[in-house]
Amino acid sequence: MAKIIPFQGLRPTADKVSLVTSRSYEDYTAAELAYLLEYNPFSFLHVINPAYVNQQKVTADKRFKMVSNKLNDFKKEGVFVKEEFPSFYIYQIEKKNSLFTGILAGTAIEDYQKNIIKKHEDTLEYRVNVFKEYLHFSRFNPEPVLMMYPDQEDINNWINIQKQSDPIYNFSTVTKERHTIWQVQNEIDLQWVKNKFESINELYIADGHHRSASAEMLHNEGDQVENNHLKYFMSYLISESNIKIYEYNRIIHDLNNHTKEEFLEKIQEKFILENKEQQLWKPTKKMEFGMYLDGDFYSLRLKEQLDSTDLLDHLDAQILYNEILNPILGLDDLRNDARIDYVPGNESIVSIKEMVDDGEYEVGFMLYPTNVAEIKALADNNLIMPPKSTYIEPKFMNGLIIYEI
């Protein structure tokens, strides 16, 4: 049974929220970062990337302490204020063609350990360790784990009732998104939501496997008795029908010493290959694959049905790996091989065409998106998806609601 708690969020004042919040650091170009750091003194980018000299000589622990110190500066200056009472937050993200609404809450590390909170993605040990050290020295988490729960009509109705009150935030971003947050502090409502989630048997991590694993590692270091917040980590709880799953497409730098003709011949041993020429073609169903090579798009369909009963073998990303990426292109470790890169499916396939045409890459592959049922089935059977199998929305703004530990 899932256990969630309200928490005392640290958040920017309403008059500065649109100036403070930022996208993920990696989403900005160098020019954008330089501009924001130079001309916006309130940007949360100053916190997550504090200025220092001799960057190469600054150890990770010192850098993370500087992150904490910079946040403390923002608190002293009144940019951020601490909530007086524990709260749940209804968080709505509106994009051009999508509307996401969920609940920001603390989710229990005990549930993560008992597999009530289920995972479908592997983690890299070094990344978990780095983020654990970040949490240890900075003492805050600015970004929630995206967590799915089965659709619940009564929770939807409760959310709609809360949205009738005045929001604490309602602002737009330069990427044309609207972010709206309602605060819930009424004890009756807090208890109702907690009780409701206690009746839910499983939660599923959609995005944020490294953040949750890092929180567990910090919890296991032993100081959780002194700090109750270490027993939980911040999550965005959203009904499974409200997330949007995109594929992660693959682009590869070379053909593993094959000529174009040899490469196509090897593919045709397992796939029906159709040249779509200049048609911007992408898969329309499972077990179809798109490919862009030497100025042409291709469709690929398996010649024979899979005889494996393994759920993982029926995942499109795994099929592509088993039949092409590994045996033909010689790619083994998809997480660390520098010959492969990934393009999220919310970007146009024109971007794949352009990167191949520019000569940096030789071939690109387009996949059909995974669905919620596949993610849950894999998680229920303790199976792990291949790296970069899904790109899931919503994505969050940093510095909007901060969970202190």
Per residue in 99-129, pLDDT (tens digit) is: 999 999 999 999 999 999 999 987 878 888 8
Residues 196 and 50 in one domain: yes
Q: What pLDDT sits at residue 24?
A: 84
Residues 121 and 192 in one domain: yes
Q: What pLDDT sits at residue 21?
A: 95
Residue 332 scores a pLDDT above 70: yes
376 lies in a domain? no
Q: Which residues of 290-328 are buried (b: 16+ CB within 10 A; e: fewer)?
A: bbbbeeebbbbeeeeeeeeeeebeebbbbbbbbbbbeeb
Find where tokens 């049922």 sit.
373
CATH number of the domain residue 263 falls in:
3.30.1760
Residues 130 and 190 in one domain: yes
Residues 287 and 236 in one domain: no
Residue 66 scores a pLDDT above 80: yes
Residues 220 and 270 in one domain: no
Residue 7 scores a pLDDT above 90: yes
Q: How many domains does the chain have?
A: 2
25 lies in a domain? yes
Q: What pLDDT sits at residue 50?
A: 75
Residues 201 and 251 in one domain: no
Rounded average pLDDT over 382-386: 88
Of 27-36, 243-252, 356-365, 366-375, the range with the lowest mean pLDDT is 27-36
**Distance in angstroms between the alpha carbons of the first and the last residue of the chain:** 24
Q: What pLDDT sits at residue 226?
A: 57
Rounded average pLDDT over 340-363: 95
Q: What pLDDT sits at residue 305?
A: 84
User: For 269-320, how does the pLDDT look when each residue is reduced to its tens digit (9 = 90+)?
Assistant: 999 999 999 999 999 999 999 999 999 999 999 998 888 888 899 999 999 9
Residues 14 and 62 in one domain: yes
For residue 65, give its domain range. Answer: 4-242+393-404
Q: Which residues pair with 373 in a beta bridge?
A: none
- Other residues' Cβ atoms within 10 Å of the Cβ of residue 286: 15
Q: What pLDDT sits at residue 53?
A: 43
Q: What pLDDT sits at residue 55?
A: 55
Give the chain's mean pLDDT. 92
Cβ pair 141, 405 in contact under 8 A: yes
Residues 180 and 323 in one domain: no
Rounded average pLDDT over 377-389: 89
CA angle 256, 260, 264 (to 5 degrees): 95
Q: What pLDDT sits at residue 30?
A: 86
Q: How far apart are CA 44 and CA 21, in angstroms?
A: 6
